[in-house]
Amino acid sequence: MATVAYPAPRPSGVARLVSDTWTSMLRILLNYRHSPGLLAASLGVPVIMVVVFGYVFGSAVQVPGGGDYREFLMPGLFAMVATNGVMPTMVGAARDVGRGVTDRLRSMPVSRTGLLLGQTLADLLVSVAVLALMALVGLAAGWRARHGLADTAGAFALLLLFRFVMTWVGTLLGLIVGKEEAAGQLAVVVFPVAMVTNAYVPTLGMPGWLRAVADWNPISSVVQACRELFGNPSAPGTAWPMQHAALAALLWSAVLLALCMPLAVRKFATHGR
């Protein structure tokens, strides 16, 4: 009598979440493996940023209270790497929706949270490499972390947390937009949000209303917190987020993650309904 082979039952609960997260993460990392140009661009942009902003614009910017501009700049560039997690995840999520990948994934007995979490974790691993390369370039350009190993590790942990949050923001926006071309065009909205900060220039010279916007920008809190942890020059001003930068950065991250993560999972699960 022939033996009937039944498929192994799907894991449930935490095991299913971990399995689907791992599979989704490998899917994104293999995309980098088969797209060396994409990986080269991800690693090359930090070098260009340090050269352009540190050497081309650096001679024209004075840090209030003195200090080397490139040391003032590097935490801002680190924060820009974290913030830029919005764009690739937004475009990727919109592309998957437009090409029907999202619908195919939704039809499978997989964890919705695990699929999206795997994508964000894959982006986080790439970000570790990008931040490491930028740190090496910064060291070559004269930047130093002056407050010891613990504070330096804390600064990079904060940057990775913010990158993780920004990937969830990008995933939600991509699922809402649903078209790759439209997601790409949203860069014109993301760009000014990233520029109206203290990343490149001190906010002290901005008009009062613009300075208030910049000081309360979540990115500015991350930048200021990193400057304090690294021991780099800064010009914080008197706004509450600048006086309590690390706390403000953590609060912004918690609020954005609490809003965007469940909304992204819900949008992914109910897309097209």
Q: Given pLDDT bands bounded at 50, 70 and 90, which one contains residue 227?
A: very high
Regarding predicted confidence, which is higher, 54 or 199?
199
| pLDDT of res. 254 | 96
> Which of 27-36, 107-116, 136-145, 165-174 has the weakest average pLDDT?
27-36
| pLDDT of res. 158 | 96
pLDDT at 177 over 50: yes
Q: Given pLDDT bands bounded at 50, 70 and 90, which one contains residue 5?
A: very low
Closest CA to 131 of 222, 242, 241: 222
First to last CA, the chain: 46
pLDDT at 1 over 70: no
Q: Given pLDDT bands bounded at 50, 70 and 90, which one contains residue 42?
A: low
Kindly report, residue by residue over 68-115, the tens digit of the pLDDT.
888 888 999 999 889 988 888 888 888 878 777 776 776 666 677 777
Token readout for 79 is 């924060």
pLDDT at 271 over 70: no
Total length of the chain: 273
Average pLDDT value for residue range 215-221: 94
pLDDT at 32 over 80: no
Sign of the CA dihedral running 133, 137, 140, 144: negative
CA distance 76 to 272: 39
pLDDT at 215 over 90: yes
What is residue 232's three-state secondary structure?
coil
Q: What is the CA radius of gyration of the chain?
A: 21
pLDDT, averaged across the chain: 82
CA distance 92 to 100: 12
